Amino acid sequence: MNSFYSHGKLLLSAEYMVLKGARALAVPCKLGQSLSFEEDSGTILKWNSLDKTGRSWFNAEFSIIDFSLIKTNNLEIAKRLNSILIAIRKQNKEFIKVSGGEVITRLEFNREWGLGTSSTLIANLSKWAGVNPYILLDETFRGSGYDIACASAGKPLFYTRGINTPKVESCDFNPTFKSALYFVYLNQKKNSREAVEEFMQKEIKKKDIVKINELSSQMAGAKSLKNFDRVLKEHESFVGQLMSIQPIKEKQFKDFSGEIKSLGAWGGDFILATGDSNTPEYFSAKGFPTVFGYDELIL
């Protein structure tokens, strides 16, 4: 049996801008996804995806000849997986060419959370097939690729997009004030593909990239919560003006005493909040009970 594992991810800085080449601060999560493959002598690739409770949420069968779909419980997801398998064989012509078997994937997080259901799948499949995960991502889900970097990382990192070969730098981001950092799920998953397509139509000036790069460095190097809060506020305001979107704190949490920053595509998934032991209770009372402390979620 072949087994692979990849970490989930969160993007702390340069959301959207990372797509245009800005330097982003990203962190791998303790929660991820595994993939195992048990080979048999048949000509069918069986697929079973399990959620964090162990319940099967997707299954399908494909012919190993051309990955044509035989049957599935979700046609849309099966078509997406079919395109991924075909893209893999484009890079590795011998991938599952001789005999079939069964793939089982297991998520450790809620797939609605936006922690990387797709990126951990791409990373695991790339490890298994021995192909370039960044090329595979670009030919399927697209995106910046920072999530692929996080999938195999053991600590926070700086990520700069490149053509097939991005720049990934290890980062010593381990703030002394991390007990004051909380990640809050906003109860709605944002479609990152739509957000990517919309942003890529925008014209971004070089000075905007330089500004975000500076904020990423300042965020990673902040020595106090006060300085970290200042950077979060400035980053949120800058991206908000650039995207013509109202920052989430102004929109929903005006009475929150700490700072709040959107993560990833604005309007869904997680936000980063700075506060104290009362912070989880504040967000829970607002209808957002899924709150993680930094050490609970970040590797």
**Per residue in 77-107, pLDDT tens?**
999 999 999 999 999 999 999 999 999 999 9
**Per residue in 6-38, pLDDT tens?**
999 999 999 989 999 999 999 999 999 999 999
pLDDT band at 162 (very low <50, low <70, confident <90, very high): confident
Q: Specify whether 81 is located in the same domain as 177.
A: no
Q: Specify whether 187 is located in the same domain as 139.
A: no
Q: Specify whether 119 is located in the same domain as 225.
A: no
Q: Specify whether 17 is located in the same domain as 146.
A: yes
The CA-atom distances, in angstroms, between 90 and each of 35, 87, 95 are 21, 5, 9
pTM of the model: 0.93
In terms of residue numbers, what domain contains 32?
2-169
Q: How far apart are CA 140 and CA 240, in angstroms?
A: 28
Q: Identify the CA nearest to 12 among candidates 207, 228, 177, 161.
A: 228
**Per residue in 120-146, pLDDT tens?**
999 999 999 999 999 999 999 888 899
Alpha helices in 200-224 (DSSP H): 206-221
- DSSP letter at 50 equals E
Q: Specify whether 27 is located in the same domain as 164.
A: yes
The helices-and-strands tally (H runs, E runs) of the chain is 10, 12
Q: Specify whether 17 is located in the same domain as 149.
A: yes
Q: Among 169, 194, 217, identify where a domain stops.
A: 169
β-strand pairing of 101-107 with 2-11: unpaired
Q: What percent of the chain has pLDDT over 70?
A: 96
Whole-number pLDDT of residue 264 = 79
What secondary structure does DSSP assign to 113-178, as a single string? Answer: S-S-HHHHHHHHHHHHHT--HHHHHHHTT-S-SHHHHHHT-SS-EEEE--SSS-EEEE-----TTG
Q: Specify whether 12 is located in the same domain as 151.
A: yes
- Does the structure show a pLDDT above 70 at 193? no
**Chain mean pLDDT for the chain:** 93
Provide the 3-class DSSP secondary structure of residue 294: helix
Q: Specify whether 75 is located in the same domain as 212.
A: no
| Beta carbons within 10 angstroms of residue 176's beta carbon | 10
Number of domains in the chain: 2
Q: Specify whether 143 is located in the same domain as 192.
A: no
Q: Among 148, 169, 190, identify where a domain stops.
A: 169
Q: Among 169, 188, 215, identify where a domain stops.
A: 169
**Per residue in 67-83, pLDDT tens?**
999 999 999 999 999 99
Give the pLDDT mean for 41-67.
97
Q: Specify whether 20 is located in the same domain as 140.
A: yes
Whole-number pLDDT of residue 192 = 61
Q: Specify whether 30 is located in the same domain as 162.
A: yes
Place of tokens 């793939």: 103
Whole-number pLDDT of residue 203 = 78
> What does the block give as tokens for 28?
């791998």
CATH number of domain containing 143 = 3.30.230.10
Q: Specify whether 190 is located in the same domain as 154.
A: no
Q: How far apart are CA 257 and CA 273, in angstroms?
A: 10
pLDDT band at 194 (very low <50, low <70, confident <90, very high): low
> What does the block give as tokens for 57?
């949420």
Supply φ then ψ for residue 260, to 5 degrees.
-135, 135
Q: What percent of the chain has pLDDT over 90?
A: 83
What ranges make up the beta strands (E) of 12-113?
24-39, 44-50, 56-63, 69-72, 101-107
Whole-number pLDDT of residue 199 = 72
- Does the structure show a pLDDT above 90 at 176? yes
> What does the block give as tokens for 253?
């949490």
CATH number of domain containing 222 = 3.30.70.890
